[in-house]
Structure 1
Amino acid sequence: MTGDWPQVELTDVERFRALAAGVPGAAITERVLAAPPDRVKELLSDLDAFATIQADLVSATLLEQDGDRVVVLARGRRGQRARLEGQFRSGWCWLQSRFLIIGMAVSAEPGGGTRVALTGGIRVPGRAAIVPLRVQRESSKTLDRLEQMLRA
């Protein structure tokens, strides 16, 4: 029942910005890559590749899946583990555990290329908030690794 309400189509990156805006401390890092959207989405839809480019992850193992809803066991470089739950599909990721949020979105860029947006970080216990330490620096490193993988 839409009546006279306006409707708008959002790209995954635009939707991601809106979602992240509701999380205090979330800082989004974006970059336009000179690669086709399908190639970027294909690479980021592979959990092994996804874990490889993420700043502090060693591995990400799929534990459960129901459509685009997933449960993933993530292991960090310092031995920490997180049971992440959320959505993971081609061009979109929003996963969170008690202490961690990881988010990513991919959209075609008008005029060519692919826009990738990232956020993530340590959650404030008991709140939907991220401790904003090193988030943008780590996201920039993640995007650097993604660009390197796309060139290989």
Structure 2
Amino acid sequence: MSWPVTELDAVARMRVLAAALPGAFLAETVLDAPFERVWAVAADLENELPRLLRTIRSVRIVRDDGEDLVADITGHFGLRDSFDIALRPGWCVMQSGRVVGGMAAVAEGAGTRFAFLGALRVPGTRPLGPVLSLAGRPLGRGMHTRLRDRVAGTDD
């Protein structure tokens, strides 16, 4: 007997990750730009992530082993942490002991479907899941708007 097999694209995998993390939020959008242009901006973590995600003040890559990175990320609200990062074309997951973040992108027609994930990794998060998910939506919408502007070159 053979089992059914399916392949998940990067955005579908990010949906699975969001479903598995208590209190995670996932925001998706379709950008009117080719995958290569969208991912070039999104994957430039040191330069672009602080522009895209307003809770981050700086990102400094301290170890680069190809697709596996370590970064020191400092936030505007006092968060300063070291993040292990898996960065591949169309896929980025960043995690510390307290936070998980992710981005995924796939070509969709002439544009790009882009997903942004955020979750807390602290005890007691599960009961707050629906509240945290709701609270994350404006953060995701803001990131999508800034990404759209950066890709179009209209925010310089």
TM-score normalised by the shorter chain: which range applies? 0.7 to 0.9
Looking at structure 2, the residues matched to 86 and 127 of structure 1 have their Cα atoms a distance apart, in angstroms, of 22
- Name the counterpart of 2:11: 13
Aligned-residue CA RMSD in angstroms? 2.2
Looking at structure 2, the residues matched to 17 and 120 of structure 1 have their Cα atoms a distance apart, in angstroms, of 11
Q: Does 1:150 align with 2:148?
A: no
The 8 Å contact of residues 121 and 130 in structure 1, kept in 2 or not, is answered as no
What TM-score, normalized to structure 1? 0.87
The 8 Å contact of residues 29 and 114 in structure 2, kept in 1 or not, is answered as yes
Shift of 1:53: 0.4
Match of 2:37 among 29, 36, 39: 39
Unaligned runs of 5+ in 1: none
User: Which structure exhibits the higher relative contact order, with contacts defined as CA atoms closer than 8 Å and separated by 6 or more residues?
Assistant: 2
The 8 Å contact of residues 85 and 96 in structure 1, kept in 2 or not, is answered as yes
The DSSP-based 3-state class of the residue aligned with 2:39 is helix
Looking at structure 2, the residues matched to 61 and 116 of structure 1 have their Cα atoms a distance apart, in angstroms, of 24
- Name the counterpart of 1:80: 79
Shift of 1:30: 0.3
Change (3 A) 1:129 1:115: farther
Moved more, 134-143 or 88-97: 88-97
Q: Does 1:68 align with 2:67?
A: yes
The amino acid that maps onto 2:118 is: G
Q: Percent of counterpart pairs with the same letter?
A: 35
Shift of 1:106: 0.5
Looking at structure 1, the residues matched to 3 and 16 of structure 2 have their Cα atoms a distance apart, in angstroms, of 19
The DSSP-based 3-state class of the residue aligned with 2:25 is coil
The 8 Å contact of residues 27 and 141 in structure 2, kept in 1 or not, is answered as yes
Unaligned runs of 5+ in 2: none
The 8 Å contact of residues 98 and 123 in structure 1, kept in 2 or not, is answered as yes
More helix by share: 2
